[in-house]
Every structure is written in C-alpha cells, then in structure tokens.
Amino acid sequence: MSVNGTRELGISDLWRFTGTEFCDCEVTDFLAEGFSELGVRSDSVEARLTGRCIQCGATGTTEWVTLGNIGDGDDRLFRPVDPDTVQVLSMTALEERT
C-alpha cells in the first residue's frame, strides 16, 4: 500500500490478531497475500486482507484490520501500525462499516 507515492506496507507481512472467527487459533498469525478491500476513516486506514494462518493453515479474508493511523489537525501524516502488535478484531467493527 502506498501513501503519497511512498510504499508504506506490502503484502507478505505477518499480522497477529484475536477476537475473530477466521480460525480456531488463540492468536492468529496471518500471512497476508493481498488486499481484498481498503477503507479510510477519519483517523485510520483499514483493510480486509487475503491470506492464511501460518499456524493452522486456514485460508480466506480477514475482517477489517487497522493498517495505520492518520494524524490530527494539520498533521495528516500516515503512521503504520506495528504488524507485530496483536490487534483485537471483532464482527462489530465490520458491521459498522457495512
């Protein structure tokens, strides 16, 4: 994913998350193979990622994952999240977007 002509995040990153029905792992170690959808909120950039859990082998598309945050006020710079951080995903966040 590029922001203002600069590559910020690529596919093949490993993302860690919980609180999802993607697979039965306590913490999903998800190898992203592509972006299914991208979305921008006022303060964040999110995506549904396509790929697989490297622990159990489950494949598919995730719920919305936060890729980064956008600064406040005049500072509207994109700040990517640390992919090693375990994010808590939920169907509630997905339902709010649809």
Q: What is the mean pLDDT of each run of 10 residues along the chain (98 residues)?
A: 64 85 93 90 87 96 89 79 83 45
Structure tokens at 1: 């994913």
Mode of pairing for the β-strands spanning 44-53 and 59-70:
antiparallel
Mode of pairing for the β-strands spanning 14-18 and 86-88:
parallel
Tell me how far the alpha carbon of residue 51 is from its chain's centroid: 11
pTM score of the predicted model: 0.75
Whole-number pLDDT of residue 6: 67
Whole-number pLDDT of residue 97: 47
| Rounded distance between C-alpha atoms, residue 5 and residue 11, angstroms | 17
Whole-number pLDDT of residue 24: 94
